[in-house]
Amino acid sequence: MSTLGNAMLEVQGLQKRFGGVHAVRDVSFSLRQGEILGLLGPNGAGKTTAFNLIAGFHPLDEGQVRFEGRNIAGMNPNQICHAGIARTFQISRPFGGLTALENVMVGAFARHPTRSKARAEAERMLDFLGMSSRADHDAGDLTAFDKRKLELGRALATGPRLLLMDEVVAGATPSEAGEMVRLVHKVREQGISVLIVEHVMKVIMGLSDRVIVMDQGTLIANGKPADVVNDPRVLTAYFGEGYAGNDI
């Protein structure tokens, strides 16, 4: 594990309701500079809702989100991007009719206003992802996994200090999942902290410095992967009462 710095993201008392559904209930946690923090939980736990609250895609009902000491709650996604936070989505949707390079340039324009500089940054990102040979391919013709990597490149091209990643190995083969894990570690080596949402426990446990777990909108565990994986509350959330107290 890398040496970690001070807390750069501080989430305090997050609350969100959709009608009668209390999707996120008083969730608080922090992420330190240089950390890969995994946000884990079964389907319907509230992970993506919490993620969307941090990224500005849903307004908070209550709580604060502080990034590098600044309260960013209430900012829109564009403002949050310019503050230094980028995100990926569960479902990759590249811009149709544009090449892979042009898709990444869309992200690069957030920091590089001229076409030449945005192109240079996009080329650097595609090289980082091992996709330089597909720079001129129509993004719509890429494989599902390459589209996912392309979305990662577009997010990285905005120049974030914190990257939010939403279920990046969903539908991936074991070899693709392994490649994505290696890419996440390379991202951290670039000085970018990572909050990664996932429901595949094995992936998160092998990737994260620390893991937090949500169930039914609440935070039920926060600690090192080896400790969290055997927490009876986590086992119950994933597998039911019969697994509580048993190692997996």
Is residue 12 domain-shared with residue 123, that is, in the same domain? Answer: no
202, containing H or E segment: helix 201-207
Residues 167 and 243 in one domain: yes
Residue 237 confidence (pLDDT): 86
Euclidean distance between CA atoms 55 and 80, whole angstroms:
7
Q: Measuring CA to CA, which residue among 192, 189, 196 is closest to residue 162?
A: 192
Q: Name which of 90, 67, 87, 63 is nearest 77 in CA terms.
A: 87
Residues 53 and 33 placed together within one structural domain of the fold: yes
Report the alpha-carbon distance of residue 49 to residue 208 in Å, rounded.
Answer: 20
The residue assigned the tokens 């999707």 is 23
Q: Please report the pLDDT score of residue 248 as a whole number.
A: 41
Note the pLDDT tens digit of each residue in 116-151.
999 999 999 999 999 999 999 999 999 999 999 999
- Are residues 43 and 153 part of one domain? no
State the sign of the Cα–Cα–Cα–Cα dihedral 208, 52, 93, 86: negative
Mean of all residue pLDDT scores within the chain = 91
Mean pLDDT within 34-46: 92
Q: What is the pLDDT of residue 247?
A: 46
Q: Do 150 and 52 share a structural domain? A: no
Burial level of 190, CB count in 10 A (0-12/13-18/19+)? exposed
Confidence of residue 199 (pLDDT cuts 50, 70, 90): confident
d(CA 78, CA 58): 13
How many structural domains is the chain composed of? 2
- Given 133, 159, 185, which residue is the final one in a domain? 159
DSSP 97: T
Nearest one of 245, 221, 209, 225 to 37, comparing CA atoms: 209
Same domain, 102 and 55: no
Looking at the fold, whether 139 and 191 belong to one and the same domain comes out as no
Domain that residue 155 falls in: 94-159
Express as a percent the part of the chain with pLDDT over 90: 74
Q: Where are the beta strands (DSSP E) in the chain?
A: 7-18, 21-32, 36-40, 62-67, 70-71, 85-87, 162-166, 193-198, 210-215, 218-223
**Checking DSSP bridges between strand 210-215 and strand 218-223, what pairing results, if any?**
antiparallel
Residue 246 has pLDDT above 60, yes or no: no
Asked whether residue 166 is domain-assigned, the answer is yes
